[in-house]
Amino acid sequence: MAQLKNFIGGKKKASKSGRLLKDTNPADTRQVLASFPDSDARDVDAAVRAAAAAYESWHLVPPPKRGDILFRAGLLFEKEKKSLARLMTREMGKVLKEAEGDVQEAVDMAFYMAGEGRRLFGKTTTSELKNKFVMSVRQPLGVCGLITPWNFPVAIPSWKSFPALLCGNTVVLKPAEDTPATAIRFAEILTEAGLPDGVLNVVLGGPETGAALVRHPDVRLISFTGSSETGRKIAAECGRTLKRCSLELGGKNAQIVMDDADVDLALEGALWGAFGTAGQRCTATSRIYVQKKVYESFKRKMVAGARRMRLGDGMDPRVQVGPLVNADQLERVTDYVKLGEREGAKIECGGGPAKGPGLSHGYFFQPTVFTGVKPSMRIMKEEIFGPVVCIMPVSDLEDALKQINDTAYGLSSSIYTRDVNAAMKAIRDIEAGITYINGPTIGAEVHMPFGGVKDTGNGHREAGEHGLDIFSEWKSVYIDYSGKLQKAQIDTEPS
């Protein structure tokens, strides 16, 4: 069994705490992949000090040169896509094709942000005074703390770290406990690409590790992806010291299927949206609103499709749905399904942990479809984060829009329709950061802003040029070449 160490200042270092956790394969818990440190505040402090020291020279590197390093990293991620995907699948369970897509997002983000190294634009504009020039420029913040989840253990660290690094910041990454080996390999690849020692550091561990990073006085920003409950705690702590805070939180995403939709296409999208990554995505489809004319047909096909899904070890190319990530997640999903039954919803298929050949030693849960649901039910309100979806009939577009917005969240949304007018109304009226027309709720492109509204976050966006905003400060610059004191509004000429 391998023993992982923290990655601090370009070196692998054991934790000061001496405590170790186990990295286990969720498809077969008999396989312990590695042990890794449960780091404490001393380890976090060492990583922050290494990042602060590296910042002194890194922020002076020209942005195009920083971009060159990211470009080389993209080439290495591309070269190692299959090996990194296999490591990811063994750590957190998603099927290999999805894991390869996860790595591809890092490739795409590396190449995109490499280009931004020559496009780190500010603005020039006119001055209200004579012989005066004004402009704005981006400047780095300092040390950034990144706390990332296990469901996209390469993509999400790339969404956060690549724009942070491009802007001239240094980074301390605290990955999820379920994917430590993937995080260490992520850092190693960046080092192989030429990233200087200390510019990106990785501290492994559990909640204590993350809390120490959030509290550290020399960390200028926290970027967190995870639950809304944890996000609120982080926001409160950051608010206490006026530390920058970017939150990408939960979702209760919904798909609308109108009478005029291509039902088979909508079905294909719903199955992928609901059961891809075993439903463990913040963008997963968990509610489906179907217009009454096609409701019965869609429901029947959805249930049949869910029953056909092949469960198993994600390393098997025939498998469509891998395991849940750990025992706590299996218990959470099981409890929500039991709650749905108590609330009066009907289980059309699934409904519990999956058993059978190759499944007895993993955290597998059957793809589950609920009908007979009501908007007030908790299974319609709360994020389950598993392969569970609720289907509800609606009378028309207005009813569908009312229902889709009846949630505390607002990340991703979808409508299937051939009516351009209905599509345009959905784009305008759905309260979400992302809306798909004739596509499922999941998926993102790296040049587009990613994030949501309401309890899904605190207004910031990741990816695209907008992803640079949280990781940089705007500085306004005034150059007065008049040779005399000009008092701005006081000295402006009368109109």
- 282 in active site: yes
Encoded tokens for 210: 């993350």
- 349 in active site: no
Residue 495 Cα to chain centre, angstroms = 52
Residue 55 to residue 145: CA distance in whole angstroms: 13
Task: Give the single-character DSSP code of 195.
Answer: P
Annotated active-site residue in 91, 116, 177, 248: 248
Residue 36 to residue 3: CA distance in whole angstroms: 6
Contact (CB, 8 A) for 128 and 490:
no
Amino acid 321 reads V
Residue 283 to residue 274: CA distance in whole angstroms: 9
Residue 470 to residue 361: CA distance in whole angstroms: 42
Geometric angle at alpha carbon 464, from 458 and 466, rounded to 5°:
45
Strands (E) in 323-466, as ranges, are 346-349, 368-371, 388-394, 412-416, 434-437
Tell which phi-psi region holds residue 108, choosing left (phi > 0), alpha (psi between -120 and 50) or beta: alpha
Beta-carbon neighbour count of residue 215 at 10 Å?
17
Beta-carbon neighbour count of residue 395 at 10 Å?
9
Contact (CB, 8 A) for 325 and 93:
yes
Annotated active-site residue in 144, 167, 245, 282: 282
> Taking Cα atoms as reference points, which of 356, 66, 286, 301 lies closest to residue 195?
66
SS3 at position 491 = helix
Q: Label the pairing between strands 132-139 and 473-480.
A: antiparallel
Residue with tokens 């009312």: 402
Residue 72 to residue 111: CA distance in whole angstroms: 9
Residue 210 Cα to chain centre, angstroms = 17
Give the bridge partners for 101, in sequence order.
Answer: none
Task: Give the single-character DSSP code of 470.
Answer: T
Q: Which helix (H) or strand (E) holds 57?
A: helix 41-58
Residue 232 to residue 229: CA distance in whole angstroms: 5
Q: Which residues contact 207 (CB under 8 A, 6 or more apart)?
A: none
Catalytic residues: 248, 282
